[in-house]
Amino acid sequence: MSLLIGIDVGGTFTDFLVMEAGNANVVKVPSTPEDPSIGFMNGLEEIAASRGVDLAQLVGDVERIVHGTTVTTNAVLTGAGARTALLTTEGVRDALEMRRGIREEQYNNRCTNVSPLVPRYLRIPIGGRIDAEGKEIDAFDPGDVDRACDAMEKEGVEAIAVCYMNAFANPSHEKATREILEKRTGSAYLSVSTDVLPSIRFYDRVSTTVLNAYVGPTLWDYFGRIVTRLGEAGFTGALLIMQSNGGVVTPEAAARKAAMTLLSGPAAGPGAGILYASHLGIEDCITVDMGGTSFDAALIKNLQPQTVNEGEINRYRLALPMMGIVTIGAGGGSVGWIDEGGLLRVGPKSAGADPGPACYGKGGVQPTCTDADLVLGYLDPDYFAGGSIALDVEAARRAIQSNIAAPMGVEVEQAAAGMYRVINSNMAFGVREATIKRGHDPREFPMVVAGGAGPIHACMIARELQVPFFVVPRESSIFCATGMLMTDLKHDFVRSFLARIDQIDPRVLRGAVRELVAAGFKTLVNEGIAEERITFELAMDMRYTKQYHELEVAVEPEAIGLTETERDGDSKAFRAPGIGSGEGPGARDAETDAIDTGTLLAGFHAEHNRLFGYSLETEETPVELINIRVKAIGGTDKPQLWRTAEPGDGVGEVSKGSRKAFVPETERFEDVPVYAALALHTGTRVDGPAILEQPNTTVFVSGGFDMVVDTLGSYIVFNRELESSLPAAVGEAVRAARRMPDGAND
């Protein structure tokens, strides 16, 4: 077995990247929202046909499939999750509606809370109470759980969430409840807070636990269909599922903690961004991915994706580690419309895969971003998806005319140009959300641009943000599928540990870390990862005393006295050699070693200053520890980087003539040269404006921008005005590139 396949299910297309001996093959098939497993198998069938074999022969050669899914995301967005009940401490069942007592929109009197995923009559109070220190105040009442089982059976409940007050400090009541439910409820999906999120903050914990229950049965059924169909086809390789934290797990592990897949699809993007950026010697970048429905932006610093420990999906709180991805409704299918004030808007509503943009000829009548791109000349109606989909220019013009141009009293071309400007501005805003709001200047981060539609819009995004250059991988249309093949198995473990930094008992702290490390080690070994490929990363959530929010700060294990750990070079990931023996990780460590509080505090003060512009270091304000976090990482084999041909002119092969296209800098249509992008060789330079066409991607190099091809075949597009500010490796590539000779397009 030698094939590796990455599969990313999007709102419009399902993307496949097939890797074999360094060679990449890209396949895109329409998504099947009614049952994504159909699109999954359709793509494998198409791959088999392209190789001249049947499905059984194909899957027999597949070593590993890594799959990113939107099944759970769509279940939350559409309200199509399981019928869920919540068992919680008596007196607090309204926490799902009360939340944290903060209005989402402080100055909007019409804003109402989102409807809870569990109706009030299915939020069942259970007797018993634990205090914040883990002591039992009121005894647990198993009779309440039995009565709850009777009620849930009558209501046809499919999933049960269990979340008690202060269970993170003492899970005994939740464990007792689980035992009863496992005996009484049979096939119902169980989601217990101390399994899902054993940390402080009740609303975060109960909301996350409910989300996990709500999407669990849907994900379980989907994996069942996938595994069954693969098994029937003869698949014996490894199937891994993408998580929101950028790692992969087995289907069984993903199904048990279904909420970890709520951002499964876009989570692989930063991993792919690291691949292409590091090839150019770049450690910091922004990945942007414009698909058919949405636009995703993520920040990478020091070759590490920025992660967050809390967020929202459809206004529901999710407090699990996830990629710090900002997602907005801006894609090729985003619909243009006129608001009540007569202003032009684009998105967030999308035409989706069915009926899709008007130009698809599938019954769509609303003007979309793709329709505007077609009218503006960026897309070839006879070469969309490599010619497999013929685009109807007149249908696109009619949709824009009736919905945008006529109401605004402008020509169709002007309306299309307006849609182009609006959606570019929307996406620039999304990038600012991922950078400026997190304390970073986007001008210092080149972009890695992905998605079938992203490279058409990237120049204008870069111009607005003053980003000097961006990179478009040849595989940009299946960007996340590429990233999936570059991922490791990852599991996140958290434990609340409330104490002032200067008052921590070193032995207790190290003991807690060791237990989390041991849990991670056991999990990865059970998933078949060799001991020598298991590493860990340690972090702590800290805050100034009485502060409302805490910050996650990476911590070196030596700072807390774990001196027996090993690491490779400057990597922050470490190994714990003692873990494989009976002594456990860190058992050889002297228990009297003090904690290096100076290092811990310095890291926190620096991070606080970066994010908020100040710190209280000089005022000696006490700092307290809230949570300990350990990430367990199981290394996987990565495919080798592929290379393009040696430098050459290739002029006769690359020119496709020219066509009229809108150039934003001059605000008029011009004859723009068109090139067959895949025929461009390493070291070729193309001056903008120009259009580069691939079967699944079109790159628009706008006026004022130029492009060179690097040794991976990626397109480096840079602003001529900012050429002097390019980093060394990129600047060298630009200087060494050979311009396409005059007359190449004749």
The residue assigned the tokens 């709520």 is: 262
Distance CA 625, CA 611 (A): 18
Phi, psi (5° rounding) for residue 168? -60, -30
Per-residue pLDDT at 653 = 67
> Which class for 353: exposed (0-12), middle (13-18), buried (19 or more C-beta within 10 A)?
buried
Per-residue pLDDT at 578 = 58
Q: Report the SS3 class of residue 100.
A: coil
Per-residue pLDDT at 504 = 92
The residue assigned the tokens 């647990």 is: 140
Per-residue pLDDT at 587 = 47
The residue assigned the tokens 């290092």 is: 599
pTM of the model: 0.84
CB of 47 closer than 8 Å to CB of 25: yes
Per-residue pLDDT at 569 = 67
CB of 459 closer than 8 Å to CB of 700: yes
Q: How many CA atoms lie within 13 A of 57 on its CB side?
A: 9
CB of 502 closer than 8 Å to CB of 572: no
CB of 269 closer than 8 Å to CB of 476: no
Nearest to 283 by CA among 291, 295, 293, 275: 275
Q: Structural domains in the chain?
A: 80-216 (3.40.50), 268-487+719-736 (3.30.420), 489-634 (no CATH)
CB of 283 closer than 8 Å to CB of 420: no
* Run of H or E residues at 674: strand 668-676
Per-residue pLDDT at 651 = 41
The amino acid occupying position 697 is T
The amino acid occupying position 600 is L
pLDDT tens-digit map of 249-278? 999 999 999 999 988 878 888 988 998 998
Distance CA 657, CA 526 (A): 58
Helices (H), strands (E): how many in the chain?
Answer: 20, 36
Q: What does 151-172 look like in DSSP terms, one character per residue? A: HHHHTT--EEEEE-TTTTT-TH
Low-confidence ranges of the chain (pLDDT < 70): 1, 11, 22, 569-570, 577-593, 641-653, 741-746
* Run of H or E residues at 8: strand 3-9
List, in sequence order, every residue forming a beta bridge with 709; answer none if it has no partner.
715
The amino acid occupying position 272 is A
Nearest to 552 by CA among 622, 492, 642, 480: 492
Distance CA 433, CA 561 (A): 38
* Run of H or E residues at 29: strand 23-30
CA distances from 737 to 715, 720, 721 (A): 12, 14, 18
Distance CA 514, CA 584 (A): 8
The amino acid occupying position 720 is R
Distance CA 150, CA 430 (A): 48
Phi, psi (5° rounding) for residue 382? -100, 0
